[in-house]
Amino acid sequence: RIVYVNGAYKRYAEAAIHAEDRGFQFADAVYEVIEVLDGRLVDATRHLARLARSLGELAIARPMSDRALLNIIGEVLHRNRVRNGIVYIQVTRGAGPRNFSFPGPEIFPTLIVLARAQRRGWADELAEQGITIKTMPDNRWGRSDIKTVMLLPAVLAKDAARRDGANEAWFVDSSGAITEGASSNAWIVTGEGVLVTRQLDTRILPGITRATVNDIAASERLKVEERAFTLSEALKAREAFVTSATNTVMPVVAIDGKAIGEGRPGPVARRLRSRFHQLAE
């Protein structure tokens, strides 16, 4: 495997960053995960726009233009012969003597790009079964809209879910509303067939898959309400699902051990999943 690190293509075992990289020291870094389907990046424009926004929110310099970054991504895919899988991009504020204050302009951002091959349709069997969710308090910082690598609450939540036999965690805010998944956006379908997902605010990541599913729902004349919903509303929902670049649309069949709808993947989630790659850019 080959990894791009700061201007060079390195063998996997030799790809390294500095011990005082601010990504390592402070999680002073942002990232993106983009799906690769048949050699093409899914929703690349939206992902690169979100990367630029995350960098802007943290005042990290953009390491290069989108065009240059796309060239590097293409080269990483090529050198790793990845036609299907994911690309991971991380940008940190750079490496320099550990100091909470921002470094001066002599410090340049660190950029890494890596690709991982996955069998085409690797998550389809899982989608046939559907996944299960464990809820837990949302103990993340107040700017979950920025895609930072500060992922410890999500790591711990996923592990707590796994220990409970669940596939994903859903975070619940102090008002009892679901915010989002540990690495996905959360959706329900009400008894009236309305899709509900939390409004974009500082508590959730503006998911790219979420945005594309919104477009698909509009083209299918499905009604979408962007608003907060509670755990009790979710437990009464006809369907639930999550969205993310790694899983596209993944049906949810149980939350906290209680079946959602008939306890099987629902027709709306299945339809959105089957339409996703036709409509994603």
CB of 166 to ligand PDD, least distance (A): 16
The Cα–Cα gap between 195 and 214 comes to: 9
DSSP one-letter code for 249: E
Question: Binding to ligand PDD by residue 179, rule CB under 6 A?
Answer: no
Question: Binding to ligand PDD by residue 243, rule CB under 6 A?
Answer: yes
Question: Binding to ligand PDD by residue 80, rule CB under 6 A?
Answer: no
Q: Which of 30, 60, 237, 245 binds ligand PDD (CB under 6 A)?
A: 245
Q: Which of 33, 37, 160, 224 binds ligand PDD (CB under 6 A)?
A: 33
CB of 212 to ligand PDD, least distance (A): 8
Question: Binding to ligand PDD by residue 246, rule CB under 6 A?
Answer: yes
Q: Which of 209, 234, 239, 280 binds ligand PDD (CB under 6 A)?
A: 209
Other beta carbons less than 10 A from residue 173's beta carbon: 16
- 10 part of the active site: no
Total binding residues toward ligand PDD, as defined by CB under 6 A: 14
Of 11, 5, 1, 247, which is closest to residue 117 (Cα–Cα)? 1
Amino acid identity at 149:
V
261: left (phi over 0), alpha (psi -120 to 50) or beta: left
Please list the alpha-helical segments (H only) found in the chain: 22-26, 44-57, 66-79, 124-129, 152-163, 208-219, 231-235, 267-279
- Annotated active-site residue in 147, 158, 223, 236: 147
Instruction: Provide the terminal-to-terminal Cα distance of the chain, rounded to the nearest Å.
Output: 27
CB of 75 to ligand PDD, least distance (A): 22
Q: Which residues bind ligand PDD (CB under 6 A)?
A: 33, 180, 183-185, 205, 207-210, 243-246
Q: Which residues are catalytic?
A: 147
